[in-house]
Structure 1
Amino acid sequence: MATNKSADRQSSCNPVTLQLKEEQLVLAKEWLQTGEVKIYRESLTEEKKFFVPVEREELVIEKKVKVSATPGQRDVPTDVIRILLSEEQVEFTKHRVAIEDVSIYKQQIEDIKHIEETLKREEPRLKIFGSPKVRDESTNPALWT
């Protein structure tokens, strides 16, 4: 069996194509509903107590018995008659008063999100066995290991 060295050389000189790949980061944003808000007013009740002084005017009639008129009785009670002539009456009304304004609105705020990710990429490398003569080392010696 004769081997054809010329054919072996040609097959060993066929170009080799390496498909080099790298990872690329694709950034996409998406709106997500993270909450919901219902806006309404709620009425609360509170019991309040007030103390208001009021005045009245009375006609007072006092009847005093003289001790000399009845010699046997010393502690004779005094008769008092009170007639109401006028008085203050408390009237009240309730009315609504604006105490504050509350503004409710949406606001878009832009923040910067910091993302760190390690991406891989491939580079060609040559592993040289033996001691062949390299004609042009200036191409990229880092490719040779």
Structure 2
Amino acid sequence: MEKRPLLDKNKILDSYKLQLREERLDISKNKVQVASVNIRKETIKEEKTITVPIIREEIIIEKKFLDDKDHEHTDTIRIPLTKERIEVTKHPVVLENINIYNKKSQDIKQIEVTLKKEKLRIQTQGDAKVIDHQVDDQYS
């Protein structure tokens, strides 16, 4: 409390200055990590047994016995033989498209806070006269 003289109609009075205060709220928000999510792709191996028919060529030789009348004749015939071979190739195929995104939603929280406020209370003892009125703050 600060004491200062107050001029009032050519009289010097003792005056005291007292400040009344109140609490007011300042609200701020901070982001706090509360969880985390790990997303990864996992490759699973699967053994497959597949039956594939293949074609191969075979030579069949038929013999015919000839009579004594026919002449014997020897001839060579060359016939190429083929068979199918299996060739396995692998290629990736897209099964699913997955979108991953962060969705924000808003909740409303009620917060209860007790605020303090100072008020002027006047108590007197004895024969004290108190005049309570609003004064322009010309001596601040």
- TM-score, normalised by the number of residues in structure 1: 0.43
Task: Name the structure with the higher helix share.
Answer: 1
- TM-score, normalised by the number of residues in structure 2: 0.44
